[in-house]
């Protein structure tokens, strides 16, 4: 492991740093002596403001030893950022083209972990669409992990978009990705392998 390896974890829509996967990632990094190098920001703004915030955070970190993990909508954001900054990313049941179906989300939504209210407007959907990156410029930068039992998103959309990336397809499961903690060593290994390849 590089001495300054950093991870940026991006949670999903209506989720938070208190979510199970985020906390499992933090705990894993703590065990690895990376307590000060795991970054899990609260994503409470619209897509454009969120991407601006995350881009500024990335610019403040050592980009030659930074890996991304993105879950659900966080996976969509991670895709944009990985493509923009040429970073490795692991996507967990990622949203693919969410702007195509986001009209059903118009209105107010309560965060699962706080009293924050997320407001989805037509402008929000336009901002989501502006972040679309297809085809991918750096497909080898991605490892995409999906479970076929995802009840929220069609895992086949991710398999299709990331067909030239490393795919991990687990049978059954659900949108939360059952057994995520057991995948963390493989996630770390992939991110480090891409970082080391880039350093050569």
CA distance 163 to 194: 18
Q: From residue 158, how far is each of 80, 155, 161, 165 by CA, in Å?
A: 14, 5, 5, 10
For residues 15 and 156, give the distance between their C-alpha atoms in angstroms, rounded to a whole number: 23
Q: Does residue 1 form part of some domain?
A: no
Query: What does the alpha-carbon distance between residue 116 and residue 114 come to, in Å, rounded to a whole number?
Result: 5
Q: Say what the pLDDT of residue 73 is.
A: 98
Span 137-176, pLDDT tens digits: 999 999 999 999 999 999 999 999 999 999 999 999 999 9
Structure tokens, 105: 């989300």
Q: Burial letters for 34-70: b for 16+ Cβ neighbours within 10 Å, e otherwise? A: beebbbbebbeebbeebbeebeeebeebeeebbbbbb
Total number of domains in the chain: 1
- Predicted local confidence at residue 4, as pLDDT: 86
pLDDT: which is higher, 64 or 1: 64
Residue 3 has what pLDDT?
Answer: 57
Among the residues of the chain, which ranges form H helices? 20-31, 47-59, 73-85, 122-130, 155-161, 180-199
What is the reported pLDDT for 199?
Answer: 64
Classify residue 13 by its DSSP letter: T
Residue 109 lies in a domain: yes
Answer yes or no: is 10 within a domain.
Answer: yes
Alpha carbons within 13 A on the beta-carbon side of 77:
28
Q: What is the predicted pLDDT for the residue at 12? A: 97
**Whether the predicted pLDDT of 2 surpasses 60:** no
CATH of the domain at 167: 3.40.50.1820
Span 102-145, pLDDT tens digits = 999 999 999 999 999 999 999 999 999 999 999 999 999 999 99
Chain segment 20-71, per-residue pLDDT in tens: 999 999 999 999 999 999 999 999 999 999 999 999 999 999 999 999 999 9
Say if strands 166-170 and 38-39 run parallel, antiparallel, or are unpaired. Answer: unpaired
Would you place residue 1 in the very low, low, confident or very high pLDDT band (cuts 50, 70, 90)? very low
What is the model's pTM? 0.96
| Domain range enclosing 16 | 6-199
Hey, what are 77's tokens?
Answer: 């954001």
In angstroms, the CA 200 to CA 196 distance is: 7
* CA nearest to 130, candidates 87, 90, 77: 77
- Residue 21 forms part of a structural domain: yes
């Amino acid at each position: 492991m590089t001495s300054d390896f950093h991870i940026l974890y991006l949670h999903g829509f209506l989720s938070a740093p208190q979510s199970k996967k985020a906390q499992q990632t933090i705990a894993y990094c703590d065990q690895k002596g990376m307590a000060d190098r795991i970054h899990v920001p609260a994503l409470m703004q619209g897509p454009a403001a969120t991407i601006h915030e995350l881009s500024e955070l990335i610019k403040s970190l050592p980009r030659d030893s930074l890996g991304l993990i993105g879950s659900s909508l966080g996976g969509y954001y991670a895709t944009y950022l990985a493509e923009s900054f040429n970073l490795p990313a692991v996507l967990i049941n990622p949203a693919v083209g969410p702007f195509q179906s986001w009209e059903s989300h118009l209105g107010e939504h309560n965060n699962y972990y706080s009293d924050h209210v997320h407001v989805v407007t037509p402008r929000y959907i336009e901002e989501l669409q502006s972040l679309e990156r297809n085809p991918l410029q750096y497909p080898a930068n991605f490892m995409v992990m999906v479970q076929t039992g995802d009840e929220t998103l069609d895992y086949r959309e991710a398999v299709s978009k990331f067909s030239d990336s490393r795919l991990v397809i687990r049978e059954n499961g659900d949108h939360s990705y059952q057994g995520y903690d057991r995948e963390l060593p493989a996630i770390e290994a992939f991110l480090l392998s891409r970082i080391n390849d880039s350093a050569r």
